[in-house]
Structure 1
Amino acid sequence: MTERSGALEIRGLSARYGPVTALDAVDIHANPGRITAVLGANGAGKTTLLRTISGLVRGSDGSVLLGGRDLTGAPAETIARAGIAHVPEGRGVITELTVEENLRLGALLGTARRGSAGRGRLDEVYDMFPALGDRRRREAHSLSGGERQMLVIGRALLSEPEVLLLDEPSLGLAPRVVAQLFALIRDLVDSEGLTVLLVEQNARSALSIADTGFVLNLGRVVAAAGAAELAADDDLRHAYLGF
């Protein structure tokens, strides 16, 4: 994969659903080569944050910048082409396509962005996820939950992103699979300088691989610190993180 260098800056970002404020002046900075965890209970605004960054929800105020480029209010396809890959909750694969056909969809965007995605990039994903290589000719509906999660992450990586937005990647997975997946994410960041914004309810696991963390409550940032510092704060963990 190609090394990346894009920092993601979220400044005063707000979003509303009708009269309900889902995000309230959120400030987050995610650095290249780092995993930034966004934590909080259901309804805290975590998924809305990622959807607003990726252009699926229009913010009511604030800005989104990638490597200093202002992407505020841009269409989702423009944001994707700029280098932000969003892996939404729910492992959204195209079930009637094969594993390799799903991956090639990501490679198309990678080729458009960098002119470099191709057979070699596919082989790199298969090296990362050997289970996908073994099942490359199978239709995606035949995959397990963990394999589908590998597939959507692999597809996102083939788009050669600067920033990877991950929404609840551990949801519904066995603890062993979660541990393997999170170790892989950590390895990707360390080896390639990828910027990862990780939304998770499994706060303990997220903080174990993250560098920094932000805690959301009712759409507002209520804490921001290094991952180890957040994990060691008993009051914060009990109040917002559930462990």
Structure 2
Amino acid sequence: MAEAELEVRALTARYGAVTALDTVSLRARPGEITAVLGANGAGKTTLLRAVSGLVRGSDGSVLLGGRELAGAPAERIARAGVAHVPEGRGVITELTVEENLRLGELLGTTRRKRRRVHRLDGVYEMFPALGQRRRREANSLSGGERQMLVIGRALLSEPEVLLLDEPSLGLAPRVVAQIFTLIRELVDREGLTVLLVEQNARSALSIADTGFVLNLGRVVANDSAAALAADAELRHSYLGF
């Protein structure tokens, strides 16, 4: 079971003269879903990219179980146990479903684990639609199935922390509910640390334990998910519901 807490301390990131993250601090605890919410341009995606090493922060720390990750190459961060599922369901469409999944399995074998929690058959059990299409090219999958595929591939890398960027984007409400239910069940069963970036704040708060609200690169609120959902002024000002 994963037991690593992710802590971001005063993280700042810039794109040229534009400050995308301004001294952002947060904690994401094992066995919990921590939602990062806010409007477009709030800095949510930049936060995940800075944690996973795709964006270099100009200042601040990113700690995984007390180990400093800020400034490390993205592949080293991945091998340390951070799996990033980016926005857009980035599958390799020319490969089959199973070939895509085995890419995650390859990364998992490079990490020193006492036991392997996730295997292909376990992913197929979690996502039966992928098992039924395991020999098909990924370009034949629906949007919801592609989202299942990238999450399954990330799990096969044996992460301690799972970064999810807009997993509901472009999906039908029924599929969103299915994906979010699976994420909640996964966290409850295996104790993963999940940092969930979502513009669909209502759905995210329905499965999250805690939440942080970003606006123009700054944290403007953080509390339990239930407290954020109950704050009408906050919801109207920043969350759009």
1:177 matched residue in structure 2: 175
Measured in 2, the distance between the counterparts of 1:229 and 1:114 equals: 39
Measured in 2, the distance between the counterparts of 1:60 and 1:110 equals: 30
Count of residues in Structure 1 that have an aligned counterpart in Structure 2 = 240
Deviation at 1:90, TM superposition (A): 0.2
TM-score (norm 1): 0.97
Measured in 2, the distance between the counterparts of 1:114 and 1:152 equals: 22
Measured in 2, the distance between the counterparts of 1:232 and 1:60 equals: 35
Measured in 2, the distance between the counterparts of 1:122 and 1:65 equals: 30
Please say if residues 108 and 117 of structure 1, whose CA atoms lie closer than 8 Å, have aligned partners that are also in contact: no
Match of 2:25 among 24, 27, 36: 27
Deviation at 1:87, TM superposition (A): 0.2
Q: 2:127 matched to 1:129?
A: yes
Measured in 1, the distance between the counterparts of 2:73 and 2:2 equals: 22
2:164 matched residue in structure 1: 166
Q: What is the DSSP-based 3-state SS (H/G/I as helix, E as strand, rest coil) of the residue aligned with 1:196?
A: strand
Measured in 2, the distance between the counterparts of 1:207 and 1:113 equals: 32
TM-score (norm 2): 0.98
Please say if residues 10 and 29 of structure 1, whose CA atoms lie closer than 8 Å, have aligned partners that are also in contact: yes
The percent of aligned pairs where both chains have the same amino acid is: 82
Please say if residues 36 and 212 of structure 1, whose CA atoms lie closer than 8 Å, have aligned partners that are also in contact: yes
Measured in 2, the distance between the counterparts of 1:117 and 1:210 equals: 26
Measured in 2, the distance between the counterparts of 1:144 and 1:126 equals: 16
Measured in 1, the distance between the counterparts of 2:120 and 2:112 equals: 15
Q: What is the DSSP-based 3-state SS (H/G/I as helix, E as strand, rest coil) of the residue aligned with 2:120?
A: helix
Deviation at 1:117, TM superposition (A): 4.9
Structure 2 counterpart of 1:33, which letter?
G
Measured in 2, the distance between the counterparts of 1:111 and 1:20 equals: 39
Q: Where in structure 2 are there 5+ consecutive unaligned residues?
A: none
Measured in 2, the distance between the counterparts of 1:33 and 1:235 equals: 29
Matches within 5 A, 1:92-111: 92-111=90-109
Match of 2:154 among 153, 156, 172: 156
Q: List per-residue Cα deviations over 1:29-80 (Å, max 9, x = no partner).
A: 0000000000000000000000000000000100000000011100000000
Q: Where in structure 1 are there 5+ consecutive unaligned residues?
A: none
Q: List per-residue Cα deviations over 1:135-161 (Å, max 9, x = no partner).
A: 000000000000000000000000000
Structure 1 counterpart of 2:211, which letter?
G
2:144 matched residue in structure 1: 146
Question: For the structure 1 residues 65 and 220, does the alpha-carbon distance in structure 2 shift closer, same or farther, using more than 3 Å as the test?
Answer: same
Structure 2 counterpart of 1:219, which letter?
G
Cα RMSD over matched residues? Answer: 1.0
Measured in 1, the distance between the counterparts of 2:188 and 2:108 equals: 21
Q: What is the DSSP-based 3-state SS (H/G/I as helix, E as strand, rest coil) of the residue aligned with 2:21?
A: strand
Q: What is the DSSP-based 3-state SS (H/G/I as helix, E as strand, rest coil) of the residue aligned with 1:28?
A: strand
Matches within 5 A, 1:1-243: 3-114=1-112, 117=116, 121-243=119-241
Q: What is the DSSP-based 3-state SS (H/G/I as helix, E as strand, rest coil) of the residue aligned with 1:169?
A: coil
Deviation at 1:111, TM superposition (A): 1.3
